[in-house]
Amino acid sequence: MAALSIHHFRQAKQDGQPLVALTAADYATAQILDKAGIDLILVGDSLAMTSLGYTSTLPLTLEAMLHHAQAVRRGVERAFLVADLPFMTYQVQKEQALLSAGRLMKEAGVNGVKLEGGYPDMVETVAFLVQRGIPVLGHIGLTPQAKHQLGGYRQQGKTSPEAERLRQEALNLEQAGAFALVLEHMPAELAAQISEQVGIPTLGIGAGPDCDGQILVTHDLLGLSERIPPFAKAYTNLRQTILEAVQAFVVEVQKGAFPPS
Ligand code: KIV
Ligand code: NA
């Protein structure tokens, strides 16, 4: 199976072919997503919450991200593999971002990195990484690493100055060389306008149907998360499925029915 390259993303947008992206944090999940034909697999820092039990993404370290990204890498043959830069591993200065991204590329073999924000310093950082050969996925709108500044996980871009700022950030990130943009939790109309304005594909999450693709947190899709955001969809209830399987095992062991004699 040929591995997807960065060219796949612009081509898909030109062809009007919706892009499909999901998160993974371990080897088995990565293998399944890759087999299903996902275009992009993100080792998202949401794993701090879904896999590690933290209440936000802020505590995730670069070492922990490397550990998960290495496991995911071993399970992915085709999809374009991107890892999130954890909080405070890239915001200090662009050289810090380059060193963190470099470690993810060298030590985990990811194809690119995602970072949050489209403010001027971050746009400069994106250009700095791209010029040094690192594909960057941008992320604007609700940026969970800024939850304390944003006052929670609320929808962004609801007022017209905020919407204008987000449109400008999208254009600036494209200009800086980002290969695609995650648009998180913003009005559908705004995400549609941004998707129309930029030449690079947008991956929406809580951003309506008119993005160039969609991304979801796999734990939400599978019904493994404790709570799912209002814009996510659980396609199955694995919490219940796993509970029932484990309960069946408990009963069979207690009855002496497993293993069979
Ligand atoms: O960490 C994550 O899962 C993400 C996606 C929601 C885009 O950043
Ligand atoms: Na993230």
pLDDT digit string (tens) for 47-70?
999 999 999 999 999 999 999 999
Whether the predicted pLDDT of 241 surpasses 90: yes
Our answer to whether residue 252 is catalytic in this structure is no
Please report, in range form, the residues annotated as the binding site for Mg(2+): 45, 84, 116
Structural domains of the chain in order of their starting residue, each with its CATH number: 7-236 (3.20.20.60)
ipTM value of the model? 0.99
Query: What is the predicted pLDDT for the residue at 144?
Result: 98
Query: What is the predicted pLDDT for the residue at 174?
Result: 98
Average pLDDT of the segment spanning 194-223: 98
Q: Using CA positions, which residue lies closest to atom 1 of ligand 1? A: 44
Chain centroid offset of residue 182 CA? 8
Whether the predicted pLDDT of 197 surpasses 90: yes
Query: What is the predicted pLDDT for the residue at 200?
Result: 98
Instruction: Please work out whether the CB of residue 25 comes within 6 Å of at least one atom of ligand 1.
Output: no
Cα of 244 to ligand 2 centre, how many Å?
Answer: 31
Q: Which residues have beta carbons under 5 A from ligand 2 (an ion)?
A: 44-45, 84
Q: Using CA positions, which residue lies closest to atom 4 of ligand 1? A: 44
Query: What is the predicted pLDDT for the residue at 1?
Result: 76
217: amino acid identity, one letter = V
Q: What is the rounded CA–CA span in Å between residue 150 and residue 48?
A: 19
Q: What is the mean pLDDT of the chain?
A: 98
